[in-house]
Structure 1
Amino acid sequence: MTASPEPTDAIAIPDSPLAVLQQVFGYQSFRDGQQEIIEEVVAGRDALVIKPTGGGKSICYQIPALLRPGLTVVVSPLISLMKDQVDTLVANGVAAVYINSALSREEMLRHFAGLRRGEIKLVYVSPERLLQHEFMERLGELELGLFAIDEAHCISQWGHDFRPEYAALGRLKQWFPRIPVMALTATADEATRQDMLSRLSLTDPLIHIASFDRPNIRYTLVEKFKGIDQLLRYVAEQPGQCGIVYCSSRKRVEEVAERLLSRGHRAASYHAGLPLELRQSVQERFIRDDLDIVVATVAFGMGIDKPNVRYVVHYDIPKNIESYYQETGRGGRDGLPAEALLLYDPGDVGRVRRLLENSDNEQQLQVELYKLNVMAAFAESLTCRRQVLLNYFGEYQREPCGNCDICLDPPKRYDGTEDAQKALSCVYRVGQHFGVMYVVEVLRGAATQRIREHGHDKLSTYGIGKDKSQEHWVSVIRQLIHSGLLTQNITRNMVLQLTEAARPVLRGEVRLELAEPRLVRVKQKDKGEAVLSRAEDRALFKELRQLRKQLAEEADVPPYVVFSDATLTELARYRPKTESELLGINGVGMRKLERFGAAFLALLRRQE
């Protein structure tokens, strides 16, 4: 095990924030918002700081720690995060230590002695350690300057990673009412922000919410159909580049890492089931560029300031938008281009949902299921990925980003103003008290007892959308949420509510363009084929039949063994252009995709 660093070479601290920034940390100027935050906290004010990964959160409490008299206590959830932060501070000549279970008894006693002598400026501890009675007694004997709570979203019941031990941190203000408290996190929606402020009892805090936009990251989603092969092809296109591959289970981590190693890639596993020494070794080798790829569960990467991660792959769907955003944000921290690739299997959503449902905490389960549904909606979205992400965090963007798979390979679009007005009006007419599926049922005129009991079958919006499918209206409402015209209120069972941005659309003052829902699957007709009404579709159907005959002859099989007429009908109607879209057609399975997909896609792409 690597010994904890000793703050033996502490330097003299300058007396101004800018001088500390330049002389201690080596940066010439502050990033947006940092100077105001630092000056307010140095003056003794509480603060809530929300900055994205790579946005410079640590500086916001490290500089006040050096400028305020006394000890700064930093609450940190992971040993690996503590170690990385302390290593960096000690390397900069700052007197910092961590106290956790990784230390020997001798190291622990030495650090406590340094705290008593006032030689240490920052100490990193876990919330569990901080709240131990013995530790609190030790703190009560010291001069304290600041409490900094990192990953502060963990304190909120609405947060994506609620931890009961974090919730108890609200008592800090009772025990140390005159010591400023700074809460920091990379991701928090509005409900989580308000909950953090309330639980921590912050006094007149400075609230700083930075932009969540990371324009250098390209967001791409690919439907997963043979995940390991897709990953191997992708990584082969990134020779010598550093990347992180996130998997949902330890077993999957080890399987993926082994396949990468077998192809000659410098890769290693990282998960909580491995010995601490091995995890620390993997982390350090990755930071030193002795490893190109770390295959890991979600714990890896928190607090690790490695600037040259060029790609982040999610092999499985994350549980929530916050985790996805935070993990993708570990790519491109140097501001250079980076890629975020998500391999999406709709079946994974059900698997994750079943795992979540093992929870005994009913309220927390509802929050986690809601956030999983939002993540699934993001994956199935036809709206610019960056718009969806930013709008989720309340940073509404009207223009698409031009740097995601939706923008670079856009779906067909149409004038969706009328559809939007119908959906928004229906949300308003039902009193903004119901969720997505209920609103869709009202729009489509469903004859349900619940609708009759509420009298919503008498509304002017009842049945005005019956000419369109349920999937169509779900897609429209999702796009309205992603575009910031509707919100889902997590504190009220995810009911739909209008935003101010909806008013001009409802009044007809602005035109709204929506993406045509990619409804690839259709119900099978009795005869196994759908009627093609457009002449160009019928002409394409003939070309598809000719290609099918050619491939059948080459394979020495009957034509229907290649694809049925019903499948050709769907191909002619929906004209898929990618492998994932082709897999959405009835009758196209994995094997047929491998054998015949390339030929049919080549024909379909020539129709553009």
Structure 2
Amino acid sequence: MMNKLSPQQALEKYWGYRSFRPLQQQAVEAVLAGHDALVVMPTGGGKSLCYQLPAACGIGLVLVVSPLIALMDDQVAAANEIGLKAGALHSQAGEVERRRVFAELNRGALHLLYVSPERLVAGGLLDIIRPHLGLFAVDEAHCVSHWGHEFRPEYRQLGPLFAGFDGVPRVALTATATPQVQKDIIAQLGLRKPVELIGHPDRPNLIYRSFPRYDQGHQVLEAIRQHRGEGGIVYAQTRKEVDRLVKTLARAGVSCAPYHAGLSALQRAKAQDDFVHERLDVIVATIAFGMGIDRSNVRYVIHANTPRSIEHYQQESGRAGRDGEPADCILFFSVGDLVTHKMLSFREEGISPQRRRVIERQLSEIGRYAISPVCRHRLLSEHFGKPYPVETQPGARAIDCGACDVCLGETEALPTEEARLTAQKIISAVYRTEGRFGAVYVTKLLLGSSDERIMANSHDSLKVFGLLKGTPEKAVRAWIDQLIVQGHLAVTDGEYPLLRVTQSGLDVCKGTETVRLGHPVIRSAKKKSRKAAAELPTGPEETLFANLRRLRLLLARKLSLPPYMIFADSVLVSMSVLKPADAAALREIKGVGDNKRDRYGKAFLAVIAGADPESIADEFPS
């Protein structure tokens, strides 16, 4: 197929990098030495290079099992852009493409073949590729685990299929796996004494915020207005909420589109294509969207509803800032979301008691993450079995991360005694009304509202009436949610959920159980994050950077490619500052490999020298 290269040589030739990211080199060297490996890296950590680079080194054909067609197609295009031969076999591949893939397979000319687990399990393919096979790579490997957040039954059949290929190493890769899920991946895929490379899950460039939700449309719009003209993803729980948010944002002039299962495949493909190709700033989606998205310059991810688990949140919020630059991850929390998730999940036919317990645990975990006035980076890191900060030694003091609402002073914990008294007032109100009412009613009761129902029930005569008078309504609602998540109150099932007091809640009232409550802090000027905004060129370099971005966009549209596949923003920044005058100097820039230098170098050098981006793009061959 090709002359064999060392990992370092291949890294420089194809990717234009001179150094590896953490764990990449160990993963590549492990599989090249014939060992199995489990690789857990955060989104944006460079997992795909761990199996693409062995292909570039000449290991033979790398068979990549991937769960989403969009993800396969993007990775095939990206691999072909840097000079590797890649193809994909899936239900939407046309006859011409299938013939091309099989022709290159038969010639031994293919480096990477992407397939869905369903296609592989269907049979026949492994016999065809057996003579060329050098590595099995299972992407999104958490899908194999019952304990994971996106279980796919077909993934369970991969281990037995691999068993007939003793001499072929296997690498399993994921961004989100607790220690329990890691063990399950190893067992289910039959990894043999694997090299376990478990990266730290923390993404220091992401700024996490979690706030109570009280007005979904308004809160989402205000968050987006902090990022005018930048790319972002908004996640909502249902199709109806997606459509409602799109209408709200569009009326406010936001360039956006919906993405959910109620749209046709053509409509979904267009929305995704417009977003990835930067013709669209915002995509509003259900959780069906995101796994296959490789737009690196997403500056924010907003969860308008609470996700189903911390694993889901880590993966979905991880779509932000894949270029390493600062990005915002904002969660608007409501207990009602957890109730809805539970109701919908338990409706699934044939759901086992074990799976029910997993779902309940996951909902409890994401709820505690959302309401706890504790450093978000620390909570996420510890959930995945890692200490925070990254350098923490046993007994070390926790530090201010400078990159979450708690450490930035936007959310504060109530003083211990104030939290206890506030909780006791709320729990007493639920107890005094005998668990016959929901959160809205109890809130009005505590605020001393002259609501007709309260008067009709003579509840204005209760001692708890008006106990929190003068407190903002949204603060009381948020505290009720926090008490539910902490188990001091419970919510009944059904269309109209009612509150009731638990034994833990009674213990809070007796003073034998501790409670912690937090609240958003309104400040005239928010404390700035230590994660400064990306350092973009200024002065003449700023103009050049804008021209290079313009050229990239024009070429991307001409070639039907996402702009990031041509060059990342960081590469354009380097070009603007260093101003290379020839191909050799251009090749020295990090992220410019041989293939991209040869294909795009002349055009970008011309713009650096002062040429007009429009005319250069017009002359560029299609």
TM-score normalized with structure 1 length: 0.68
The corresponding residue for 1:392 is: 383
Alignment check: 8 A CA contact 1:73 1:147 kept: yes
Following the alignment from structure 1 to structure 2, what is the Cα–Cα distance between the partners of residues 282 and 46?
38
Which deviates further from its counterpart, 295-304 or 344-353?
Answer: 295-304
Residue 405 of structure 1, CA deviation: 1.9
User: 2:406 maps to what in 1?
Assistant: 406
Give the corresponding residue for 2:223: 234
CA contact (8 A) 1:31 1:56 kept: yes
Distance in 2 (CA, whole Å) between partners of 1:50 and 1:194 is 12
Q: Please report how far the alpha carbon of residue 269 of structure 1 lies from its aligned counterpart in structure 2 after TM superposition.
A: 1.4
Q: Paired residue for 1:523?
A: 428
Does 2:13 match 1:115? no
Query: Where does residue 78 of structure 1 map in the other structure?
Result: 68
CA contact (8 A) 2:210 2:371 kept: no
Partners in 2 of 1:203 and 1:403 — Cα distance? 39
- Indicate the percent of aligned positions where both proteins have the same amino acid: 39
1:292 aligns to 2:281 (yes or no): yes
Q: CA deviation at 1:138?
A: 2.1
**Residue matched to 2:509:** none
- How far did residue 22 of structure 1 move? 1.6
- Number of residue pairs matched? 454
User: CA shift at 1:21, angstroms?
Assistant: 1.2
**What is the aligned partner in structure 1 of residue 35 from structure 2?**
45
The answer to whether the Cα contact below 8 Å between 2:425 and 2:464 also exists between their aligned partners in 1 is no
Measured at CA, do residues 585 and 167 of structure 1 come closer, stay the same or move farther in structure 2, by a change above 3 Å?
Answer: closer
| Alpha-carbon contact 1:188-1:322 (below 8 Å) kept | yes
Alignment of 1:7-86 (within 5 A): 15-86=5-76
Please give the secondary structure, in 2, of the residue aligned with 1:279. helix
For 1:77-117, what per-residue CA distance to the aligned partner results, in whole angstroms no more than 9, with x for missing partners?
00010011111111111100011111122321231122111
CA distance in structure 1 between the partners assigned to 2:425 and 2:370 by the alignment:
16
Alpha-carbon distance in structure 2 between the residues aligned to 1:90 and 1:39: 23
CA RMSD in angstroms, aligned pairs only: 3.5
**Residue-by-residue CA offset, 1:121-164 (whole Å, 9 max, x unaligned):** 10000001011122233233x32000000000111111111111
Q: Aligned ranges for residues 188-207 of structure 1 at < 5 Å?
A: 188-207=177-196
Q: CA 1:312 to 1:563, structure 2 compared with 1: closer, same or farther past 3 Å?
A: farther
> Separation in 1 of the partners of 2:60 and 2:475?
58
DSSP-derived class of the 1:39 partner? helix
Deviation of 1:272 (Å)? 3.3
Letter in 2 for 1:55: G
Higher relative contact order (CA 8 A, sep 6+): 2
Alpha-carbon distance change, 191 to 567 in structure 1, aligned in 2, over 3 angstroms: same
Taking a change above 3 Å as real, the CA distance of residues 16 and 577 of structure 1, as seen in their structure-2 partners, is: farther
Instruction: Look up the match of 2:555.
Output: none
Deviation at 1:364, TM superposition (A): 2.0
Q: How much has 1:38 moved relative to structure 2?
A: 0.7
The amino acid that maps onto 1:385 is R
CA distance in 2, matches of 1:258, 1:412: 37
Cα distance change on mapping 1:602 and 1:155 into 2, 3 Å = closer
Asked if structure 2 preserves the Cα contact closer than 8 Å seen for 1:40 and 1:206, the reply is yes
Q: Gaps spanning 5+ residues in structure 1: where?
A: 1-9, 416-467, 473-515, 529-547, 553-559, 587-600
Contact between 1:382 and 1:517, CA under 8 Å: does it hold in 2? Answer: no
Distance change >3 Å, CA 336–CA 564, structure 1 → 2:
farther
Q: How does 1:263-412 map to 2 (within 5 A)?
A: 263-359=252-348, 360-362=350-352, 363-397=354-388, 399-400=398-399, 401-407=401-407, 408=409, 409-412=411-414
Given that 1:150 and 1:183 are in contact with CA atoms closer than 8 Å, whether structure 2 keeps it comes out as yes
Q: Name the structure 1 match of 2:249.
A: 260
Q: What SS class does the counterpart of residue 272 from structure 2 fall into?
A: helix
Q: Name the counterpart of 2:167.
A: 178
CA distance in 1 between counterparts of 2:249 and 2:343 reads 29
8 A Cα contact 1:520 1:585, kept in partner: no
Deviations 1:20-67 (A, max 9, x none): 112201223111111111111111110000000001100111001222
Q: How does 1:144-159 map to 2 (within 5 A)?
A: 144-159=133-148
Q: 1:124 to 1:518 in 2, by over 3 A?
A: farther
- Write the deviation string for residues 212-266 of structure 1: whole angstroms up to 9, x where unpaired: 1112212111211121121122222321121100112223222222221222111
In the superposition, relative to structure 1, how do residues 527 and 203 fare at CA in structure 2: closer, same or farther (>3 Å)?
Answer: closer
- What secondary structure is seen at the aligned counterpart in 1 of 2:299? strand
Shift of 1:602: 14
Distance in 2 separating the partners of 1:568 and 1:272: 46
Letter in 2 for 1:345: S
Note the alpha carbon deviations across 1:461-491, whole angstroms, 9 max, x for none: xxxxxxx9xx97xxxxxxxxxxxxxxxxxxx
| 8 Å CA contact retained: 1:72, 1:123 | yes
Amino acid at match of 1:265: V
- Secondary structure in 1 aligned to 2:412? coil
SS at match of 2:328: strand
Paired position in structure 1 for 2:546: none
Distance 2:463 2:522 in 1: 16
State the partner residue of 1:143.
132
Conserved in 2, the CA contact under 8 Å of 1:95 and 1:120? yes
- SS of equivalent to 1:521: helix
- Which residue identity is paired with 2:274? R
Please tell me the residue identity of whatever aligns with 1:399: A
Cα deviation, residue 315, structure 1? 1.1
How far residue 566 of structure 1 moved from its aligned partner, in angstroms, is 5.3
CA distance, structure 1, for counterparts of residue 321 and residue 405 of structure 2: 18
Q: Deviations over 1:180-212 (max 9, x none)?
A: 000000010111111111111111211001111
Q: Helix, strand or coil: the match of 2:398?
A: coil
Q: 1:101 to 1:604 in 2, by over 3 A?
A: closer
Matches of 2:249 and 2:339, distance apart in 1: 27
- Describe the SS at the equivalent of 1:97: strand
Q: Secondary structure at the match of 2:163?
A: helix
Match of 2:468 in 1: 570
Residue matched to 2:601:
none
1:242, 1:311 within 8 Å by CA — same for their partners in 2? yes
1:54–1:305 Cα contact (<8 Å) kept: no
SS in structure 1 of the partner of residue 232 of structure 2:
strand
In 1: Cα distance, 2:271 partner to 2:106 partner: 34
- Inter-partner Cα distance in structure 2 for 1:47 and 1:527: 58
Gaps of 5+ in 2: 389-396, 434-446, 451-457, 482-518, 525-622
Retained in 1: the 8 A contact 2:3–2:58?
A: no
User: Aligned partner of 2:310: which letter?
Assistant: I
Q: Give the distance between the partners of 1:152 and 1:65, measured in 2 at CA.
A: 20
Query: Counterpart of 2:307 in 1: which secondary structure?
Result: coil
Q: Tell me the secondary structure at the aligned position of residue 217 of structure 2.
A: helix
Query: Is the alpha carbon distance of 1:97 and 1:566 closer, same or farther for their aligned partners in structure 2, counting shifts above 3 Å?
Result: same
- Are the counterparts in 1 of residues 212 and 478 from structure 2 also a CA contact under 8 Å? no
Question: 1:272 and 1:354, CA in 2 relative to 1: closer, same or farther beyond 3 A?
Answer: same
C-alpha distance in structure 1 between counterparts of 2:111 and 2:469, whole Å: 67
Amino acid at match of 1:405: D
Measured after TM superposition, the shift of residue 15 of structure 1 is 0.8
The change in CA–CA distance for 1:157 and 1:603 in structure 2 (over 3 A counts) is closer
Q: Is the 8 A contact 2:211 2:370 kept in 1?
A: no
